[in-house]
Chain A
Amino acid sequence: EAQVTQNPRYLITVTGKKLTVTCSQNMNHEYMSWYRQDPGLGLRQIYYSMNVEVTDKGDVPEGYKVSRKEKRNFPLILESPSPNQTSLYFCASSFLFRSGEPQHFGDGTRLSIL
């Protein structure tokens, strides 16, 4: 089954404790991205990757890191999480890097940082 898989689905942690949210897609997609969804703000892009070893900042990259060492994986790293990073996170991928290309989303990771 074609899918984008995120782990963990839920995590409660404390300020400053490094964490990684994994994202994997099995569709051989070039493009992958991370979004966060906050009440009253919709979804906002954090980082994206056009292909292996090529990443760039989205609208809200502060406090996050990413890497794309393999085509299928795009982990999101919070080196020193803070409470304002409490949010619902979505990973997405698309076959091509172009405008209008439908992105396929994972089911989300709810992070709570105390």
Chain B
Amino acid sequence: DQQVKQNSPSLSVQEGRISILNCDYTNSMFDYFLWYKKYPAEGPTFLISISSIKDKNEDGRFTVFLNKSAKHLSLHIVPSQPGDSAVYFCAASYGVNSGYALNFGKGTSLLVTP
């Protein structure tokens, strides 16, 4: 059963505008959430993370927001650039007994058009 869900398979945004990628989760035990970016024929690359005790984390053009009561997080990219075009995966982890496995969503393909 998918514990991390990205319900939008794709998103298209104009260069310079804001990209908002959404992620929902079902397991309240998750204590960290991470975003990864993936280009074709490459492995996922870590982008930004947030602890469950925070509601916002910012790194340059990337900001992640966490709403624990709604079990929802979002990644904001401002301003969007053509090089941001990639598949974005939301992931969550918890618990030594689970090996701190990353539970991944299915990904959202972002296309930033000039």
Contacts and interface: CB of A to CB of B under 8 A. Distances in A.
A40 B104 CA distance: 11
Nearest to B49: A100
A45 B99 contact: yes
A107 B32 contact: no
Interface string B1-44: 01010000000000000000000000000011010100001111
B45 A100 contact: no
Interface residues of A, number: 29
Interface in A63-114: 90, 92, 97-108
Contacts of A44: 104
A58 B32 CA distance: 18
A103 B106 contact: no
A108 B89 contact: no
Contact of B31 (A58, A90, A99, A108): A99
Interface of B: 2, 4, 31-32, 34, 36, 41-46, 49, 51, 89, 93-96, 99-102, 104-107
Interface of A: 4, 31, 33, 35, 40-45, 48, 50, 56, 58-59, 90, 92, 97-108
